[in-house]
Amino acid sequence: MEEENQIQNAPVEQSAPVEQPVTEEATEDQDDDSLPFPRARVVRIIKSEIGNSKQIRSEVKDAINLWLGNLLKRIAREMGDTQFGSVGLADFNRATKPYDMIADLVKDQERLMLACQKLNADSDHINREMSRFFTVLKGEQ
């Protein structure tokens, strides 16, 4: 019994809580309720496109997340304008078509700029030819 009292009265060493370093991966997993999507998933998608060689600032992660949420709201509102009782794939395609067309518009712009440059070169060539023709016709050589 005496031994039990000694054990109970013996000073107990209290270990100080060990702080574990917070890594970026751990902070990515902490979802913020003010963000529409899980932050970790958004960051994984970004990193898959830009690579791990660059660091992404926290404000960029949040801004992209909020922007994606706003984009989703606009698409959902557009899909909600359907005349039917349920939202179908056709409604989704109609709502996302303007965003899908952006890449096509950029290609069209490049194509149109090239066409304008060619037309400009052709008009310069025709202008030189006409000037030469009328110079010869008038005999002003």
Please tell me the predicted confidence (pLDDT) of residue 126: 96
Mean of per-residue pLDDT scores for the chain? 82
Residue among 73, 74, 91 at smallest CA distance from 82? 91
pTM: 0.55
- Number of neighbouring beta carbons within 10 Å of residue 61: 19
Q: What is the pLDDT of residues 56-67, one digit of tens each?
A: 999 999 999 999
User: Which carries the bigger pLDDT value, residue 96 or residue 84?
Assistant: 96
Distant-in-sequence, close-in-space partners of 94: CB < 8 Å, separation ≥ 6: 78, 79
Average pLDDT over residues 63-88: 92
Mean pLDDT of 8-27: 49
Tell me what pLDDT residue 14 has: 46
pLDDT, tens only, 38-62: 999 999 999 999 988 889 999 999 9
Domain ranges of the chain: 23-81, 88-141
| Residues 39, 31 contacting (CB under 8 angstroms) | yes
